[in-house]
Structure 1
């Protein structure tokens, strides 16, 4: 039985608490949060203890910690937890700073403790089925990838100000999905972005609408489209054109009823947000982490994967501000020293 401490009792912490408690081989033992009342509420809900983060990490009875705290705490907590002998699953991104994330990777790489980054979409049954079809050669070689990710509504501007921006906070999932499906990091990244949804987001120095084009060393191309607003719901689609065919993942709908009348054909909207769309993926993600820790095998999404996605977000940010394509080696070279 894997004994787990949860660091962070906010919205995403609650999602992870469900996944931890639902697994037959893990137990949520302790919860911490900067707001003690939040930790106590969540701990009471799952029969755990509300404790301080340092206390949880130092407890030799705790086998693993799940980090769901604000992003600027992630690297410090990863380092502290692995130094204490804990296995770690940390929410994305690794850090707001690429330099700090690379330093974290170097610090923990020799400790022999598993660190997994929470890119849960890799574990979505629809996307993983597409990946399986691609690897089986069913559509030949991947040539052109298109990822669409639109939120139903923008987050509060107060959140935007501390999130690291759209590329680090939202599109980072899509950067990792591109790496997952294409099997490589792109060679160049070109990005454009605008503030079309909420003027407050623009005033905070961020964008809410963006398109990124990525090219690979072998000529393959990937395009990512993000928006903070889709009036019809949570739009999550992937289309991959191969040399022998096309693979697509369409939206998960509220229901599968289609009404056809003389007035037209009408179907349901996409599910409203990530809780409805991706809860099964969070459970599969946690199961994969538990299995890796139990078997001593490699985690399926490594800290190195997290750094790669953050580097892509950095490249996209630089490209958007400069109006020019950015080569990934330009981003990674300064931090590789």
Structure 2
């Protein structure tokens, strides 16, 4: 297959390296708004290069990967849908709820496959947790703890366009909660604080946040996020049930140390970044996308899935700002119901 990739920043260059190592990829062509950077990445990794994204899209590619900065996702996805090119798009689909709704409607009105990049769905631990819930192994699931704790904050310039900590970080937890439980979020109550760099507050964001989600079957979920996890990159989930409990991410890379005497778990080292933590999952995710692009399987993570996770993040931001519980019924999921929350 001949694959086109737009965006060769940190995640784009990472995806390029992964795609280039997959047997189904005969040629990978990269492009970026910074043509010189795309040419360098192509040369460094032995890939093909397109001088601009317009040339890339017109070059007869079999599938398209969008790994640009967030502002590029929506317009590129629209162009790919118009051209009928199967597309993998990193989250978020768009920067706003209204645009995400519009793209969901557009994608569902045609038959071009779109796969959204929520790589945790391909992590063996999360998939094992999903199986444990679905099989009834845990009995009645009553509580879940989910977290995304980054070791260090991103560059200050990233924060104003990130969408905020719930849309940027916790959205992964919101998606994987749906994936593991098969349930939808009913209500949220969220808060956040900033004890770190001033650039978070300047952008209207926080560096540490927490949310309590109530699922539609009454399960309680606690989701936390921070930009300052000094012990290491720490992404985990604990699922508690009446007959048992299971944890994802509870291994020797755990970014915690025990306060108990004589306990040498974990032995480390801790992960430093999400790319290191989820390297096998990213490879599995892109392998699955190539099957989607080849027409062998349906998308395992649709634009509708991305919309549901984004709606939960949106509800959390409203809850944090207004200091009140927010029902998901207040957050639109279709153009006819879209309106601003007072």
TM-score normalised to structure 1 length: 0.93
- In terms of mean alpha carbon deviation, does 75-84 or 41-50 score higher? 41-50
For 2:96 and 2:262, locate their aligned partners in 1 and report how far apart those are by CA, in whole Å. 53
Q: Is the 8 A contact 1:154 1:197 kept in 2?
A: no
1:79 corresponds in structure 2 to 78
CA–CA separation in structure 2 for the residues paired with 1:322 and 1:219:
23
Secondary structure at the aligned position of 1:190 is classed as: strand
- Alignment partner, residue 70 of structure 1: 69
Rounded to whole Å, the distance in 2 between the matches of 1:296 and 1:335 is: 32
Question: Residue 208 of structure 2 corresponds to which residue in structure 1?
Answer: 209
Which blocks of at least 5 consecutive residues in structure 1 are unaligned? none
RMSD between aligned residues: 1.9
Which residue does 2:309 correspond to in 1? 309
Say which is worse superposed, 282-291 or 45-54, in terms of deviation. Answer: 45-54
Cα deviations by residue, 1:171-226 (Å, 9 ceiling, x for unpaired): 11111111111212211011000111222211221011000111122211111011
CA distance in 2, matches of 1:75, 1:150: 27
Give the structure 2 partner of residue 175 of structure 1.
Answer: 174
Residues 271 and 63 of structure 1, relative CA distance in 2, 3 Å threshold: same
Q: Could you give the per-residue CA deviations for residues 57-82 of structure 1, whole angstroms, max 9, x where no partner exists?
A: 122x2011100011122111111111
Alpha carbons of structure 1 residues 164 and 286: separation in structure 2 relative to 1, 3 Å: same
Instruction: Call closer, same or farther: CA 1:132–1:219 in 2, change over 3 Å.
Output: same
Structure 1 residue 328 corresponds to structure 2 residue 310: no
Partner of 2:340: none
Residue 291 in structure 1 maps to residue 277 in structure 2 = no
Q: Return the alpha-carbon distance in structure 2 between the equivalents of residues 105 and 333 of structure 1.
A: 9
User: Would you say the 8 A contact 2:138–2:244 is kept in 1?
Assistant: yes
Deviates further, 105-114 or 313-322: 105-114
| Aligned-partner Cα distance in 1 for 2:134–2:253 | 30
Secondary structure (helix, strand or coil) at the match of 1:9 reads coil
TM-score normalised according to structure 2 size:
0.91
Distance 1:252 1:43, change over 3 A: farther
Contact map agreement 2:101 2:334 (CA 8 A) in 1: no
Per the TM alignment, residue 333 of structure 1 is displaced from its structure 2 partner at its CA by 5.8
Query: For the residues of structure 2 that align with 1:142 and 1:67, how far apart are their CA atoms?
Result: 36
Equivalent residues of 1:251, 1:270 under 8 A apart: no
How far apart are 1:335 and its partner, in Å? 3.9
Q: What is the Cα deviation at residue 314 of structure 1?
A: 0.7
C-alpha contact (below 8 Å) 1:234/1:272 kept by paired residues: yes
- Separation of aligned partners in 1, 2:105 and 2:53: 23
Q: Note the 1:86-97 alignment, pairs <5 A.
A: 86-97=85-96
1:66 to 1:51, Cα distance in 2 relative to 1, 3 A = same
Question: Partner of 1:171: helix, strand, or coil?
Answer: helix
Q: Name the structure 1 match of 2:159.
A: 160
Show the counterpart of 1:21. Answer: 20
d(CA) in 2 for partners of 1:52, 1:241: 50
Question: Is the CA contact (8 Å cut-off) linking 1:252 and 1:270 kept in structure 2?
Answer: no
Alpha carbons 1:15, 1:279 under 8 Å: kept: no
Query: How many Å separate the matches in 1 of 2:263 and 2:299?
Result: 48
Contact kept? 2:127, 2:180, Cα under 8 Å: no
The structural deviation recorded for 1:33 is 0.8
Give how far 1:325 is off: 0.7
Q: Decide whether the 8 Å contact of 1:71 with 1:95 is kept in 2.
A: yes
The secondary structure found in structure 2 opposite 1:29 is strand
Unaligned runs of 5+ in 2: 338-342
312 and 335 in structure 1: CA distance in 2 versus 1, 3 angstrom threshold = farther
Cα distance in structure 2, aligned partners of 1:133 and 1:217:
19
CA deviations on 1:249-299 (whole Å, 9 max, x unpaired) are: 2345459xx9xxx98736224211112111111000011111222234311
Show CA shifts across 1:116-164 (max 9, x none).
1000011111211221222222112322111021100111211101111
1:245–1:252 CA distance, 2 compared to 1 (3 A): closer
